[in-house]
A and B are shown apart, each in its own frame.
Chain A
Amino acid sequence: MKANKTSKWLWLLFPAFVACERTITEKNLQYESLNPTSTDANAGDWKPVILNVANEFPLAAPTATNVAVYNRELTEIKGFQATLTAEQRASIQYWSAGGVLRWNEIMRELVAKRNLPPAASADGTYPTPSAANPFGYPQFPFSNPPYAARAYAYVSVAQYDGLVAAYYYKRLYNRPAPHTVDANIKPLVPATNLPSYPSEDAVVAAVSVEMLKLLFPADIAYIQQKADEHMLARIMAGMNTRSDIEAGVQLARQVAAKVIARAAGDNMSRAVGTPAQWADLETQTAATGEMPWISKEFPKRPPMLPFFGRVKPFLFDSLTTIAIRPAAPPSTKSDKFRTELEEVNFYSKNATREQIRIVHFWGDGIATYTPPGHWNEIACDDFVKQKFSEVRWARNLALLNMAEMDAAITCWDAKFAYFNPRPSQVDPSIKTHTGLPNFPSYISGHSTFSAAAATILGHIVPARASAYNAMALEASLSRLYGAIHYRSDCEVGQAQGVKVGNYAIARAQTDGAN
């Protein structure tokens, strides 16, 4: 009887069973350890982007491996390996997927964290984030798509140049890895015969720290902690000694300094513009008889980085930015424009659930890693399967991210050359399935980013080329389905992205990595 009474109450526990399927597997934690099919031992001969030559910065020769000072470094590794905790093993495993990959993820995370437009001030103006005061509100940066594209590019380029330099000295000094020198040290990750001085992981970590200090200054503590974990993981894994790491850090800082100098002079500091310049954009377009763009936000927000089109590109020069600018969009007074507006209106009201899924899948709006980040994620998923060496990872992501930054530049150049209205400005009855971006319509950023990425990625992983192109097309059309872009924005954006992607391919064909 008593048992019966108890069982009557048992059903109250049933909520506990609903949530039993709560375990979530995150794909980035499933990546296998990097075990490259080729070490690319001659990558010291590849063409760097910012450095003039691989050995532009000197690196002193390492000590021999048979001297006491080196032996004490081996003792440190053995000490770690004798007492490894589960947490330390997890760290080794995490970083073994590849430093370039993990730092790319960290960058994407920082972009998503900081990709928030500042709230309006009480007086109806908007504060501009300031690198000089990154912790005050608004926090610096607002990592919107152009900012993010540039950030990914500089970090990737610095990693690549740092690794080209590192591989040069690896071959020159040919110091074996600790697990090769001492049989009592076990390689805890897949071992190669790549020389270990300077540590390629230290180069990647340290160069990333230096670049990210510039780009995400409010996150320095987090960034430094990640770098320390990364470098320690390599020592514990038996892959590098302390001096391998230190040499990598030393080399990386010099490379990063040169890349930072390039960034300081690339015109980004003038991309925000001034109220007078913003007003000029409007009057210039009005003078042509066309309808100028107006912010649909309340209060009206200044356009996002209106002079980003003048930032110095990586794959071509600023004169080329103007030379390849697409022709003007359909006049707002034309029949073609009316037809395209009607098409946007259709999707605003009639998008299917599948089209809305596509809008959100490619949305990459606020608090996300932006479209360039999305393409970095797509690239990384595929690169893992390609078993690239660390330096080839860096080279390929540098190509991708130079293309993405230059796509942002040419896209923003067009947007602010034509300064045309969004569909919802022309027809306020057009509601959108995703946030309406606060800058002119033509050409579509998503289309330009995606086509540029698909073009260079199709060159890097030819077997995936048609898949990339299909993704890029879907990403492009997602903006039409979302009712925030006209078809012309998307189609011309795609064509512009292909142009930029082809510049990246041209570089890839001549950088010595093939």
Chain B
Amino acid sequence: METIKLKIDNKVVEVAKGTTILKAAREAGIHIPTLCYLHLHDLNIENKPAGCRVCVVEVEGRRNLAPACVTECTEGMVVNTHNIRVLNSRKTVLELILSDHPTDCLICAKNGNCELQSMAQEFGVRKIHYEGEQSTYREDTSPAIIRDIDKCIMCRRCEMMCNDVQTVGVLSAVNRGFMSVVAPAFEMNLDHSVCTYCGQCVAVCPTGALTEVDHTNSVIRALADPTKTVVVQAAPAVRAALGEEFGLEAGTLVTGKMAAALRRLGFDYVFDTDFAADLTIMEEGTELLDRLTRHLNGDKNVPLPILTSCCPGWVNFFEHQFPEMMDIPSTARSPQQMFGAIAKTYFADKIGVKRENLVVVSIMPCLAKKYECQRDEFATDGNPDVDFSISTRELSHLIKQSNIEFNELPEEDFDHPLGESTGAAVIFGTTGGVIEAACRTAYEVYTGKKLQKISFEELRGMEYIREATIDFDGLPIKIGIAHGLGNARKLLQDIKDGKSEFHAIEIMACPGGCIGGGGQPLHHGDSSVIKARQRALYAEDAGKTIRKSHENPYIIKLYDEFLGKPLSEKSHHLLHTHYFDKSKEIKTVE
């Protein structure tokens, strides 16, 4: 490896050729502040438009200051990261950014979690010397995401996520000069665009410009209503991340504390979305086997591969962008919606509560779930199967508001019957998890044999597109996995072009899967957080006594008592869905 020697703040540093000043400095323990720069190392995502100019440093012999984030080191370079010229420029630039930013921090959704706020604090800004007109824009509220772009600092992270990583192409810079801002085309509202509500823009936004639609008040109101029975479900990825909001190390599992907290918040029944994940495997796994068998028997009308359908961002994506392929994904609803459907029928009957008096709240790592539960097809007579979906972050606010000392809580269990789950359900929260869970069940159902090794290591990892062949007792099943919609697009394009050889593909919209969802605690650019959450989920799976969905006793009971068998008529009615061609939905500005 070719190396380069340079001097940063009088320290001799040796780095690999091609290293930027920023990286070289960090390797040397010198922290150069950054704002627009974002590097999710483990996910291979980098945003460096060199737009904020906060990371400028002085390079000897250079006329102007150099942005450390993009300037590569050269042999013999002499860099000064904190002389008066640099400090003055940096602070002036920060003051400029602040001069065009609302100062309502106290009531901002990102208060205490804002990178701009932290930087102002770090720089000790006490006065903005360059005050002037502020750019103002129309606020845009969609079913899941609020764009308050007065707070946009043009870091372009969301644009990079939306275009380069997700290839959705909704957000890009519009207008010129002082009025330039990131927005959908023609400055239309998000719900008039092809936005999938994956929330990755929200996940990387350094300020309060992009936030989730907050439903915590609705939840509080439902909890306070004595006529309502309020049921809560918590998704698998939440338990691996919620602790971060309470100062716990990333990857700390807080399943028991979370259940305890939910109970203290006043939910009448604390259930687990994992139960519905097991149910999903029963339906989706059976559908896989059914389609596989018919296909192998020569029925050319049965398309393969089958694609998972539990990710609502992904569903939105193909409805908008690949409507001609709507018969490929599984018809199984997502676990959130399966849970809602069962809760408002089977469970409501069981406890003798009328549907309209049962409120289902979901805790999700995801913002697209907010949109999903509002879909017309998931309601009966206008009453939605899931009433409110709140994010991991919103749950943490609820807990904090309610004076619950989270870290002091005891570990508690979920309630029955919808709180029991298997290890297979837990790993739904990570990329590769759904398909691994499906394989565990499908293998045993198909072959009639017990799995020797429950963990399918070959399906795990963080690579964006992974493939593996699972031996179903002589029948090689080709599995594909993609996370991040840009990677999903590649696999879809292959299918469209007839080049795909997979039997089944798992797709998750967010890089990393639900653990990296748009509703999770903010990673602030540290992608090791996402990896830690993944490790936590696999650990929880490994610790479970039951690790295969079809062995979940309450699932067996549900089929016995209510559904009959997978893909039964009742299942079809309650647990499956259909998709809509949204490609032609061109709406005009209001």
Q: Do A and B come from one complex?
A: no
